[in-house]
Chains A and B, each alone.
Chain A
Amino acid sequence: MIKTPLCELLGIEYPIFQGGMAWVADASLASAVSNGGGLGLIAAMNANADWLRKEIQKAKTLTDKPFGVNIMLMSPYAEEVAQLVIDEGVQVVTTGAGNPSQYMSRWLDAGIKVIPVVPSTGIAKRVARSGAVAVIAEGSESGGHVGELTTMALLPQVCDAVDIPVIAAGGIADGRGIAAALMLGAVGVQLGTRFLVAQECSIHQNYKDKILHARDIDTMTTGKRLGHPVRALKTNFSRELSKMEYDSTISNEEIEAFGAGALRLAAVDGDEKNGCFMAGQIAAIVNKEQPAAEIIKEMFSQAEAVLGGAGKWIR
């Protein structure tokens, strides 16, 4: 059995989170991951409190295990969803795309465990100071919005920078990745791409098929010019977006407009032409649609074997 302080901290069996992916991480996926012994997350994304309340209440009927909500701080509804998680008694909140400090004291007073995603040691230190119980160090191998540093480089530096538990994200999709993350100092992992193909994940089958068939070189980042790069599968959409970025006659607003709504088209409609299929670099090793619980179990038994065998290099 792999047990880390994260299991005790959150009351979970396996030290694994399912990433709070917009248009993907709903009550169905989150509850399946929680039932499988990990921590499922519902993505608040750009949705309002009504939508999120329904998902939270649905998840409560599907699992009696802890689950969390990921709050995208740039969302126009950030304020109302920040209050909703308090009203609904959500136990864990992860945050992305911004600085959670303005909500921090309210969440802490409500007994919520706040775990921000951090792209640098500076931000890790700041959120630790303001009361985060752990941080998620997410490297640029991840799908979706990414920072500059890779998991391999970021993770040990964040572990050195803070005294709270660190969860590794970006580039992990099997037991080897989990073992490596633990060796770099993490006490848990967060996976997105692998859970895209969980049976309980409600995204369009086209999206799942693209992940299942992706190769190592099939992702690219776009949006660097806008200051928020996004990693997604190479499709006509992302190639076109990339071309627009290099064209100085096209304004940033036009590029923003071109990209707006593209993730929804991918996840909900499976639109292969105009959709933005966000995925991590590790998508290539994701080859099987399975129940979330099976994914978790399989990865941790592999991680255990890898860690158990690591002594072979020591003479």
Chain B
Amino acid sequence: MIFEKTAKILADYRDMDIAEITMETKFEDIGLDSLDMVDVVMMLEEEFDVEIEIQERIKTVSDLVSLIESLKK
């Protein structure tokens, strides 16, 4: 469920087809820079009601989803 919602937010943000977003998608590859990531993370925080610390090592959708999973527990 976390992946689906995250993918939807990313797809909406980049105005792309949700089917193009997989767990392996790198943010860099879909053209998201560090400023975009701040905005995306804020949307995710609202969606999942968590506080996400932006970290350098978060580079793929999978990284982000596991981070949110760990915060939801």
Contacts and interface: CB of A to CB of B under 8 A. Distances in A.
**Is B a genuine binding partner of A?**
yes
Contacts, number: 21
B71 interface: no
B35 A122 contact: yes
A122 B42 contact: yes
Interface string B39-63: 1001000000000011000000000
Contact of B33 (A99, A101, A227): A227
Nearest to B34: A227
B30 interface: no
B67 interface: no
Interface in B12-44: 33, 35, 38-39, 42
A119 B38 CA distance: 11
Given A99-B54, A101-B53, A126 B42 contact: yes
Contacts of A125: 42
A24 B38 CA distance: 31
Size category of the binding interface on chain A? 10 to 19
Contacts of A101: 53-54
Contacts of B42: 122, 125-126
Interface residues of B, number: 7
Nearest to A119: B35
A120 B42 CA distance: 13
Nearest to A120: B35
Interface string A197-219: 00000000000000000000000
B30 to A, nearest CB: 16
A148 B39 CA distance: 15
A183 B38 CA distance: 28
A227 B31 CA distance: 12
Contacts of B38: 120, 122-123, 126
A123 B33 CA distance: 13
B55 to A, nearest CB: 9
Contacts of B39: 120, 122
A147 B38 CA distance: 14
A123 B53 contact: no
Nearest to A123: B38
A295 to B, nearest CB: 33
Interface in A112-147: 119-120, 122-123, 125-126, 147
Contacts of A147: 35
Nearest to B51: A129
A119 B42 CA distance: 16
Interface of B: 33, 35, 38-39, 42, 53-54
Interface of A: 99, 101-102, 119-120, 122-123, 125-126, 147-148, 227
Given A99-B54, A126-B38, 13 more contacts: A101-B53, A101-B54, A102-B53, A120-B35, A120-B38, A122-B35, A122-B38, A122-B42, A123-B35, A125-B42, A126-B54, A147-B35, A148-B35
21 contacts: A99-B54, A101-B53, A101-B54, A102-B53, A119-B35, A120-B35, A120-B38, A120-B39, A122-B35, A122-B38, A122-B39, A122-B42, A123-B35, A123-B38, A125-B42, A126-B38, A126-B42, A126-B54, A147-B35, A148-B35, A227-B33
